[in-house]
Amino acid sequence: MNRHVICKTHELPPGTRRIVEIAGRSIGIFNVDGTYYALRNSCPHQQAPLCLGAIGGTTEPAPPGEYRWSAERKVIRCPWHGWEFDLATGQSVFDPHHLAVRRYPVTIEPPPCHEPCSVEHYDVTVINGDVVLHL
């Protein structure tokens, strides 16, 4: 597994993000309430810079006419058209069952997707105070 040191933890405090270019990929690294996430910086809909989007909660499945808000489930909203993706999995909130979630801890391979459904996501850990991205 290739390791890429991104920064020291104090350089990426909670509520911040950093967009980096690694191996020809634009990747957003996020610190959300002390949990680190990494996503490919490209919305599958029209390749918008996804990682510039707002992060927040989302609605959850509910019976017709009822709305349930979840602040715990963190999603990123595409800045162009508002498509939402789960930060932890990369799955589309709109169509999460179209494809199985794919994680790429060792290699990156695009999912065989003919419709927008998920974005690539990457493992991020903290090692001796360094935020480390795993490709």
Q: What is the pLDDT of residues 21-37, one digit of tens each?
A: 988 889 888 889 888 88
Q: Between residues 60 and 99, which one has the greater pLDDT? A: 60
CB 16 within 8 A of CB 2: no
Arithmetic mean of pLDDT over the chain: 78
Residue 18 has a pLDDT of: 92
Query: Is 3-134 CATH 2.102.10.10?
Result: yes
Q: Please, are residues 29 and 37 in contact by the beta-carbon 8 Å criterion?
A: yes
pLDDT for the residue 115: 54
User: 61 vs 75, which has greater pLDDT?
Assistant: 75
Residue 49 has pLDDT above 90, yes or no: yes
> How far from chain centre, in Å, is Cα 117?
13
The set of residues, in sequence order, having a beta carbon less than 8 Å from that of 113 and lying 6+ positions away, is: 44, 98, 99
The pLDDT of residue 92 is: 84
With 60 as the cut, is the pLDDT of residue 100 above it?
Answer: no
Predicted pLDDT at 103: 26
Whole-number pLDDT of residue 21: 92
Given pLDDT bands bounded at 50, 70 and 90, which one contains residue 15? Answer: very high
Reported pTM: 0.71
| Comparison of pLDDT for 133 and 77, the residue scoring more | 77
